[in-house]
Structure 1
Amino acid sequence: MGFRRYISRYAHCSGYTHCCYSENGDQMISCGKDGDIRIWNGKDDDDAVSNGVSEYVNCVVQYDNRILVATDLHIVSAFTFPDCKKDGIEFRFTGSATTIRVNSDWIAAGAEDFVLKVVRKDKSEDAFELCGHEGPITNIELGPKNLLASKAGDGKIKIWDLIKQKDVHTISGLDQCKTFDTALSYGAMSFAPNHGKYFAYCKNKKIVILNTDDWSEYSSLEDANAAGNFISCSFSPSGKLLATGTSKGELIIFDFVTKKPLSGDVKPTDMNALTSISWNPNQEKYKGELVISDSSGQIEFITEAIDQNEKIIEKKVETKNKQKKTSKAPSVTDDQDDGVDDIYKEYGFEDGEALEERDNMGLDDDEDDGVSLERIKNETLKYGSTENLSEKSSRPASVKDLPIRTVDLQPPFQPGSTPISLEHRFMVWNHVGIVRSHKTDAEDSIEVEFHDTSTHHGIHLNNHLNHTMASLSSSVLALACEAPSKLVCITLRVIGSREWSIGMPDTEEIQAVCASDKVVAVATDSRFIRIFTVLGTQREIICMSGPVVALAAHDEQILVAYHSAASPTDDQNIILMIIDCFGYNIKCKEVKLPLTPGSKLTWLGFTKEGSPIIYDSRGIMKLYRHKSGCWFPIWNGPEHTKGVSDTFFIVSVSERLKEIHAILCRGTSYPLTIPRPLVGSYKIEFPLCDLELEKSRLEEQLLSCKVLQVQDPIRKIKEDTIKLFALALKSELENRARELIDLVALPEIIPAAAKYASGLGRIHLAQKLQDSFSVVEERQKKIEEKLNEPEPEMVPNALLNGNSNNPLLSSSPIIGPGPILKPRSIAGRNPFRKMNTSGSSTANIQQNTKSNAFSHLSDMALGYNTPPPSDTQSTNETNTNESMDTSMEKKEKNGKPELTFLEWFKQNTEALKAEFPSENMKEFNKMCLAKYKSWRETENKRKLAEMEGDEAITGVAKLAKFEKA
């Protein structure tokens, strides 16, 4: 028999949970993310006394007749015990208090502001601060030698001498975190009681034991059967046992003398990562009892956690006492050593070390007669059976014994909002304005402030329906609440009735809302997306395949982030639906969100130009480009912060300006309403390698011009390409320079590149570049054709990206007006017949199917190719073309496509060089351009004269025909 784990019980809501015993060991106290502290009268108590303290409670300790509680209100509050009446404030911080410890001499606490505060227990001296960490304090532990150990989010453990008030040792290389809530390991440490000679801390798959005399590594404890990493540990009051917890909810208790784990219920029944371990201080009354808590709000009692030597001694003392009582000998009590000495002598041991050696020889715990199991196995399994037994025992654990992986799904949230639990909070903060919520005992209102007062004046509303969600655009303010699950919208650009509302069905609750200039959408717990116009028309209801995470809208586009199947790792597996509402139609595509490992989605939205953007809890911002179907990392937030716990609250993103507007939150995850936060501007920068080098900076600028919708991209691409070309030539890398020109594939760059190469004496390279002009031009055409290939299963790229200025990507097709028809008789007129003018830019647009006369408009708007016309269709089109305007016929008959400057220059290169034998390339280019403009004006005049002559002839011919008739 080993230690026993009782069935876990629900104590608090999901989140970090902490527990401790009272000084006498009769009560157990727990706290959690629900803001309550609960007092339990032992392991059999099913009705704990609950007391609300704050929004969140991170830690609790009890001493004398007081309880100290670490809360999110930046204070350590004191309460009486067991009445739980307020008894003052022990410490004040500038961040959330996270951990507290008390021993016979000191009281210490830590917070998310990187600061430790310590005071004498008798208050004989003033409190003092210990500074040196660069991350939030996640755990502390007091030791017997006036030592304090602190673990922080910077991945370090510091050992402090409280008398000298300075650190004496630092341990690095541990898990890092930015906030207390995102910590993977809270780093529960432990000093050996009484003498304090040893210090234990967790590091991945082992427990490291240090000698506190010189801080050298004394030993390490490991268990090959442990599935998770060790994240918490605690010495027993006697110092003989060390209880450890893993990230998978396993409890492993080591015998500190033998360095071996005790037998018992190691694997959890329904527990997650163990966040705290507390031994009952009254081990005489509650022998072998301890309590554990996990990250999902559960607690669990453990009993019979006793080391093997103590079990043997207990049983032999009890047997010896019974024998002496039977023989009427003087009674022997547990406090006397005579019975223990007799037992040692009876079995031939002189001291405890000999008993330890006997235990190592294989003495079984459950045998009262002290027979060795190892000897029995050797006698009964003589013929090699022990080898088979060892082989069998070395097999891997059964699949049934493997722990079930669970992932905490991220709950729904509103981008640009702060937690609902705050009395004064931001419901949304974006590029349009700010929506604040004030919910106190005296007030429950919503305040709307616009950045541009010409859009609309400020709005103040009474929050009668308890709205918790909001979305703001330049056209509408959308408010929603879970119960009574009602959507209320206030339009901003109409005259008359501006407010409309609609309630959801009784079986649905709104979980997310978004609004743009043209649409309003809500997501419900029934996994429906309900889409409305800004004036209240219900236009769509569609389904999603998982629980919603967030919504965002821009123009006629909607982003829906929802959970997909569970990830094989501990990451969030989120799918993004991109919905486009054009006219009364709708198109949708789905892509996966590339979240940073171990992170959560913290912001979802669009750039001002209409590109989808995400931002995760690790500080990485990514942009999605519809044309390529790829996500691009465009910003690394942690590079712009000083503290590990600093985060950014995103407001807006602009591609044209290459700017990100965000609020820097120092030591917290969100800004407070008062004082008003300052919005900072940060430059978009792709995280390429070696950005401190000039080459990498130019490559980053070139990449941003290709991916982002920036101003004047052609000029910037030319400049950056020529600079990179010049840098490669200066570095004697001709092949790289030539490769760069082929990669960019812009014919306009070749003359400048050839000129620069000639100036450096690279005549051979310059000649190659000139010869490759036609090849590059053909390559550019192929790239454009490949990028223009339709994707029937996707939303059209042109519609999703809006108006793109990217010169490397083609623009959306332009729907031009059809040719003007001459008056005809009604009987011979068919307005639905397609028209085709060869050589015209509208030829493909006017091709349509027989089933729908207007399908050519929608098909071309969506970027789809239409099938070629049939022979019959061509005949009909020929007949129809005869009715076109005479000027259009003559233009198509006589006109030729105008030559571009490059085409004209290519055809007349030799003649131009002979006409302008100038050595200055810049002057030569100017003269050629002037010559081209003069030639184009002459051609236009000639064509106009020919058209006028054709019209005159046609008029005379018609008149002669009329006279003959």
Structure 2
Amino acid sequence: MSLDAIRPRGRPAHTPGITVLAYTPNGKKVVTGGSNSAIRIYSVGQDGEPMTVDEGVEGHLGIGATNDSFIMGAEDGTVWQYNLESGRMDKLLVRCALPVRDIDVSKDGEWVAVASDELTIKVVNVEDMTKVKYLRDQAKGAKHVTFDPTGRYVLVSCTDGFLYIYSMLEDEPQLLKKLDGVIRKLEADKEATSRAVWHPDGTAFATAEATRDISIYSTAEWRKEKVFSGGHTGDITTLSWSPNGALLATAATDGQILLWETKSQTVLQRYDFPSVINLSWHPTQNSLSFTTLDGELFIHDDFVPKEYQPLLAKPLQAAPIYGGALAEMSENVMRPLANRPKEPIPPRRRAGTPDSLDDILGSVDGMDDFVEDDDGAGYAEGINSFGKRTNDHLDDPRGHDAKRLMESQWRPRVHLPIQPGSTPWKGSRRYLCLNLTGTIWTVDQETHHTVTVEFYDRELHRDFHFTDPYLYDKACLNEHGSLFSNNPNDGSPATIFYRPHETWTTRADWRTQLPQGEFVKALALSDSYIVAVTSKDYVRIYTLFGTPYKVYRQKSPAVTCAAWRDYIMTIGNGPLGGDGKTTLRYSIENVKRDEIHQNEDVVAISEGTELQSVFFSDTGDPCIYDSNGVLLVLQHWRIQGQARWVPLLDTRQMDRLATGRKEETYWPVAMAQEKFHCIILKGGDRYPYFPRPLLSEFEFKIPISTKPPKTNEEEDETAERNEIARFEESFVRGNILLSLYQDLLSSTNATASQRAELARKELEVDKLLLQMLAVECREGEERGMKALEIVQMMRDRSGKMLTAAVKVAQRYDRSVLEDKIRDLVDKRLMGEEDDELA
């Protein structure tokens, strides 16, 4: 089909001049504004007349939309918010003394950035217009302003040719960079654009150069990475990424719209449309809308040709930065670099894999002469050079291939090393550490890496980043410092580097090298020590300022380690299990006291499950998280031979997943404040990616039982069983947390506040038992024996809770039970042991 056959018709929308447009995030509406006072609201997929709003002022130059409203900025300096359904003018968000040139609404719809001929950019809260942030570092008026997809940055394109980059994470925006040579020097009323347009993954933005090329700049050091060249012959007026970032659409004064593939930076299609001034992709469909200087709106359905539509159907793609077009994020492909050895694959690098089956078959020579079995009948199978059928169809007397493979090539399956909190490479970046203190992430720049350390509490610590020529592949972070290690593949020794956050000397960071041929498998950092388990199964312990403290060899091959204060925990591969996979063994020791609490005990990982992470809780209890989504804590670990793994949460049984509508998993971060802190991974994601995801927290819930099915006939009974199950789970959970706290206090010099907290926890458990007693008493006298058993489990020795239990029995007229509880009260007060039901 020719392009003329599918060419959309122009829809007269406004008088000639600058015409702006915006889709609502749900893609149901497209809103336009122009040089006249009218505002048009088009319903996507309908050819009828648009809704017209005549309340607007003349000269709309900026536009933004949410699903409920849209915002217009005009030449008279006003920025108004309108109701999307009624078109009614709701409120004036901000007024500028000079014309508004551009606006941008943050992705969450909470803030609108306003660029005008004034020297200050205003960022206004949509709900509360009294909340305003000011960007004051510009020397000239601004032509464009844009939020990044996460709302962390605002980019301001000034008429003097400078691009200003602001951080919006603080209450007072901070100027991060002032870049020269990135955009053109353009007056505010020029048709050409100097807008910085963010890639959907938030790691890069595109700008138009004076050479009519398009440059891609990354957020890592804010430098140019790629160029889209050889496209337009006129000044570029607008550009827009497809929603998944796989395609780029641009328009210019040469009268053409170009469709680019971002991975290869090549032009896929050219469309002849003159005077295009703004364009925007539909959020979910293969459709592109654009406006012209003639005041017309075009909605180009099926904009991407059929042969290229698979590119648009892909999930979110990585920005085309860092040493070559990146492969699809879902496939996580990276080919070996030409200046680096391919074998062996270095520990820090992800292995390259072919893109498709065609790549594999294309590398095989000598495939021209073969018999084709075109109809699939199988006559080409087992034919020798004489045209006779061989005996290949018969079973091999030695058994099938799988049997011979098991006999000759079987190998035990071992657990690979784990660095808690780190993710594999995806594109050219990865997280080295994710915890409650902050994050450490690195970007591959081919010849070196750039490492960024970000903190959640920026009042306590400031973010920093540095150029990394050592190519660090492991890292740890806490409130005192950051720790790094690398495993070079060029024959250089492995390095451990520690950098404290604060120091009262000139220089306190240090670096040490391991013996030649020894590599770091896992790192751990505590308030007191640094731990590294190595490829030679050594456990190397250093003080925080680089003094080697201990070196010994693990009894089992190293897998990972964790540390908290003076304690370290190491995990290694142990004997083979029944499934042909090694069991995991752990050891825990107090380094300062030189005491071993647990020695080569078993890590409780069920069959077919992998260890995903290991860490200490904020109170110092070892925890593990497995691939089935179960969080377990180690109880009584300070006593030799008494340790056991107790489940605190099975994420697959959480109420949020009960309906089956949500498809999500959880990336473990920490166990703190008696909650599980994690990152929610949607769909089929296995690892968190950029931009930095938000942390979520969930209450513990011991897997005791599932909710009984609800029926109309037994609705009351079901509610009762649910109540009992809830109390039972709370009681078991309270006992476990109480036990962990008792163990902690028994190993330290408990303070008065800690002893008071222990008493409070004991009282909470007894209160749960009292609630369970009330349920049993309500059900009748036949439940009396269980009710008495519940009373006997109370820890209170003062008699207050037992007296309350007597009152509960009196309330429900359980006289026999009341007498037995009174007898129990007398025995407790006399200090006698009641062993009747022990």
Query: Normalised by the shorter chain, which TM-score bucket?
Result: 0.3 to 0.5
Structure whose CA Rg is larger: 1
Task: Choose between structure 1 and 2: higher helix proportion.
Answer: 1
Structure 2 length normalisation: TM-score? 0.47
Task: Choose between structure 1 and 2: higher strand proportion.
Answer: 2
